[in-house]
Structure 1
Amino acid sequence: MHPPHYQSLIDPATWAFIRATEAAYPPDTASQSIAGQRAVYDAMCRSFHAGTPPGVTAQDETVAGVPCRRYPGRNPVVIYFHGGGFVVGGLHSHDDVCAEIRAATGLTVLAVDYRLCPEHPHPAAYDDCLAVARATPGPILLAGDSAGGALAAAVAATLRDPRLLGQVLIYPGLGGHGASHQRHANAPMLTAEDVAFYARIRGAAPDDPTANPLAATDFTGLPPTLTLAAECDPLADDAADYAARIIAAGGRAQTVTEPGLVHGYLRARHTVPRARASFARITSTLAAFAQRRWPFGDMP
């Protein structure tokens, strides 16, 4: 299989984002202590922070014993699970993402500060996310990027609850084994080796659907779903495969592979036009799901 031609697939704006990320998150970061890695990751995320949108406020609170941050707005509540390989990230790393979802949709956003590995291996993060979803009254939406996308899918599968109006999974890692894992094994921003490292440190069995949602055998009863993949990402096929399973089981799902984008492109939404368009797709879909509306035309 020929390696992808990243120089032609990835546009100059995205290359600038990649270089800026690498400058803030150097290759030797993985050799640091876990605390050091988390500090570098949070600082890197902060370097892309474009400020809090006017009129958006936030308050920290505890839900079902789990630290959370609420961005008050209308109901339903968007419960957001952050990315970071189950090892890094938290309320600060994705503060701007959640604030901007609140600003774009007008919906309340609840960010979940779930427990991280290696101190708390699977199922700690899943248990925390599920507890918050169960404790949040009324209709809810789920959203998450990368590791957070896996957590959202696992929680949705466990709930299968009519009050769950939809889910949006952003470049999720769902435990798949599609061709993208080989085709983009050495992609910028995330490699197949990175994916394997995070799977090992999480300590979950490959066939455990609460950790790897594509390992499930039943995809009925899941909510309307949008999955988004970055084209230049070893995880790209996970998004499409998951949506296909939902459709095959009689559900509603739409998948979009964002051309020329890389893992972590949410942080590029202010500087890369393709990432800006994808973020608009995310927020408009959440707004539609909140109104119990399917925004992608008729399903077969």
Structure 2
Amino acid sequence: MPTPILYDCDPGHDDAIALVMAHRSSAIDLLGVTTTCGNAEVEKTTSNAIRILDFIGASHVPVAQGCVRPLARPLILGTADGPSGLEGSPYLPMPRRTALKQHAVDFLAEKLEEAPEPMIVVATGPLCNIGLLVLKRPDVLPKIKELIWMGGVFYRKSEIITPTEFNAFCDPEALKIVLDSQIPLTMVGLDVTMQVLIEAPQYEELAGIDTPLGRLVMDWLKFYEKLHRNSMGVGGAMHDPLALALVIDPSLVRTRPAHIGVDLNATYAFGATVADFWQERGEADNARIAYEVDADRFFALMFDLLR
């Protein structure tokens, strides 16, 4: 039986590929998409989500727009995806429908409340919506079987300030609220996502998918690569597709439990996620961290779904 999920995102080129995978996988039943600010303003990420879903034949999937800014600070936008959040796709049609009038947090609460069993929520942007859900509807939190979040970094050099990943940096207060909520949380951060990079072999594989979708994904990746190539000397990382892929095959990564804190005060380490693996602070584990990935199996899965 397919696994029902709710997907909270801020499309975003890599979010876009994750949406394609979620729709195309027979292992997933995509019940709804909620949008937040992050890669672009929320009005743009909402438009992008609808455009992607309609293009791939998923116009039946409802989209609910969420938070316009982080919970406790001004919005700082990501830079990898361009002003629209989805540059490099000029022939992707503009949306022919609008988002639900219902706010994303209310939509998430309603779907969780209606679910016969606890279900998985995948989040691949800042945790504004999920943090607000914790504050507004704590009664539905037991219906979250697992929150799979693309965010954080623990061992590897980051893409913002050395110890900080963007989704955590954008809304660290929301992250702290979620960490303190007792929601079962799996963090898929830069430790593993920077190991699934689109380089020459992956471009060659994608070039063989000569379909409208294959060509669109190629355009997305060529634009998305620019920041990574110019600043870090590597191809685009499949951050969000890897997080989504764990619904299909959790064995793609290895995880370890830890108590996670987030730095809300420092200057150079603001938004950093800090793991206490050895329980030196005497606090209970509140997340599992992905630390190792089978990149070859991930790419095989991703390309099978894109075909």
TM-score (norm 1): 0.37
Higher-RCO chain (CA-CA 8 Å, sequence separation at least 6): 2
TM-score (norm 2): 0.36
